[in-house]
Amino acid sequence: EVQLLESGGGLEQPGNHLRLSCAASGFTFSSNAMSWVRQAPGKGLEWVSSINPNGGDTYYADSVKGRFTISRDNSDNTLYLRMDSLRAEDTAVYYCAKLGAWWLRPKYYYYVDVWGNGTTVTVSS
Amino acid sequence: IVLTQSPGTLSLYPGERATLSCRASQSVSSSYLAWYQQKPGQAPRLLVYGASRRATGIPDRFSGSGSGTDFTLTISRLEPEDFAVYSCQQFGNSLMFSFGQGTKLEIK
């Protein structure tokens, strides 16, 4: 069974940092691009960051660029999100997401085919 | 690209047909468009990708359509378990993507 298990969330003060982890199982982690998606209380889904299978390419939403860092350890099947300079507006449930892909010549197209259950980050003094 | 979903809330009876709209601020390849269902306290679930391709295990009462800037998710005959929030999503040319703000489908 494909599973994503997030951890590392909690209550943190503005300006501090947190590191989220996502333990993956049930699929070949090193072959899949991965993402983090967040959802503020009562709000819609917001893409945060993505990383390609070998970790060489990373992408960030403008709202977190320069503050958050996505990384992965393919030897340990784990995805990370380092969150620095936390702000109140970073308060959200953070979901780890596996990107599925389908081929339509001449390229691959992506979607999120597996979601974790989420970990809650609260930024407040 | 900004995705705008309408209506914000849709109130229908079980058994009725639901039509949810997702409009993009500029033309989007249909191959990049997906739909998700989310119930309270749960993670989202993939319903449709490539605008019209149902994900594995999704009942055939769910169908997606559209092209260019206008996309639609249709639920042909609502079951009690279908009442939830639905979000559209578009991928860019890389691994960046965005979501619409969501449509809440509630029981009338």
Q: What is the pLDDT of residue B92?
A: 77
Kindly list the residues of chain B whose beta carbon comes within 8 Å of any beta carbon in chain A: 29, 31-32, 34, 36, 38, 43-46, 49-50, 53, 55, 87, 89, 91, 94-102
Shortest CB distance from B43 goes to which of A47, A59, A95?
Answer: A95
Q: Which residues on neighbouring strands pair with residue B70, listed in sequence order?
A: B23, B67
A68-73 β-sheet, strand order: A3-7, A18-25, A78-83, A68-73
Q: What is the pLDDT of residue A34?
A: 98
Query: Left, alpha or beta for A54 (phi > 0: left; psi -120 to 50: alpha)?
Result: alpha
Q: What is the pLDDT of residue A104?
A: 86
Residues of chain A contacting B101 with CB distance shorter than 8 Å: 44
Q: What is the pLDDT of residue A108?
A: 87
Summarize pLDDT for A85-112 with one digit per residue, the tens. 999 999 999 999 999 998 888 888 999 9
- Residue B80 has, within 13 A of its CA and on its CB side, a CA count of 0
Summarize pLDDT for B48-66 with one digit per residue, the tens. 999 999 999 999 999 999 9
Q: What is the pLDDT of residue A46?
A: 98
Q: What is the pLDDT of residue A107?
A: 86
Point out the residues of chain B with pLDDT beneath 50: none
The C-alpha angle B98, B53, B3, rounded to 5 degrees, equals: 25
Return the residue in B95, B103, B104 with the most chain A beta carbons within 10 A, the one to mutate for interface testing. Answer: B95
Q: CB-based contacts of A95: which residues, under 8 Å, 6+ apart?
A: A6, A36, A37, A38, A39, A115, A116, A117, A118, B43, B44
Summarize pLDDT for A60-80 with one digit per residue, the tens. 999 999 999 999 999 999 999
Q: Which residues on neighbouring strands pair with residue B33, listed in sequence order?
A: B90
Contact A95 B55 (CB under 8 A): no
List strand residue ranges (DSSP E) for chain A, in order: 3-7, 10-12, 18-25, 34-39, 45-51, 58-60, 68-73, 78-83, 92-104, 107-115, 119-123
Q: What is the pLDDT of residue A105?
A: 85
Residue A88: Cβ-neighbour burial (10 angstroms; 0-12, 13-18, 19+): exposed
